[in-house]
């Protein structure tokens, strides 16, 4: 996968849990799920996204890790994320006032959106250090 593919990958990993959390009332109303079943499904999807985030360590290629463009990944996912949120809001508009999320949820999501680039930076830093240590061990 190339740079744009990884940007889309990181955007999807954040998009799925945030949309599931923001649109809880709408999803329950449309699908007919109970709250308990929805929360179980939501927790499973969040766990899956966390696993995929850390699995990307194994998936990123060494050439990608050594590229200087990898640091741009910490912000390039935001464009895809905004486009997906916009598309979701256009395809599934809010038709009932009860479907709007609570204001506190917006504050939590702002915190997540601020922290997420630092998580990507930490992942890239780990991959770069791993590549350096592998290179040093192969020289011995």
DSSP 8-state assignment for residue 96:
S
DSSP 8-state assignment for residue 120:
H
pLDDT at 86 over 80: yes
- Please state the domain count of the chain: 1
Q: How confident is the model at residue 84 (pLDDT cuts 50, 70, 90)?
A: very high
Residue 1: per-residue pLDDT: 58
Q: Flag whether the pTM goes above 0.75.
A: yes
Domain coverage including residue 12: 3-139
pLDDT at 63 over 60: no
Cβ contacts of 121 within 8 Å, gap of 6 or more: 71, 74
Alpha carbon distance 16, 47 (integer Å): 11
> Which CA distances in Å does 125 have to 55, 60, 73, 77, 103?
15, 13, 12, 17, 34
């Amino acid at each position: 996968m190339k740079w744009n593919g990884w940007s889309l990958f990181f955007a999807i990993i954040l998009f799925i849990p945030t949309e599931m959390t923001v649109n809880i009332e709408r999803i329950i109303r449309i699908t007919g799920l109970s709250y308990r079943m929805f929360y179980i499904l939501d927790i499973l999807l969040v766990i899956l996204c966390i696993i995929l985030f850390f699995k990307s360590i194994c998936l990123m290629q060494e050439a990608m890790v050594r590229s200087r463009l990898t640091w741009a990944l910490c912000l390039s996912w935001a464009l895809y994320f905004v486009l997906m949120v916009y598309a979701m809001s256009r395809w599934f508009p809010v038709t009932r006032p009860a479907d709007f999320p609570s204001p506190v949820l917006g504050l939590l999501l702002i915190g997540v959106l601020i922290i997420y680039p630092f998580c990507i930076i930490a992942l890239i830093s780990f991959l770069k250090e791993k590549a350096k240590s592998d290179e040093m061990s192969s020289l011995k």
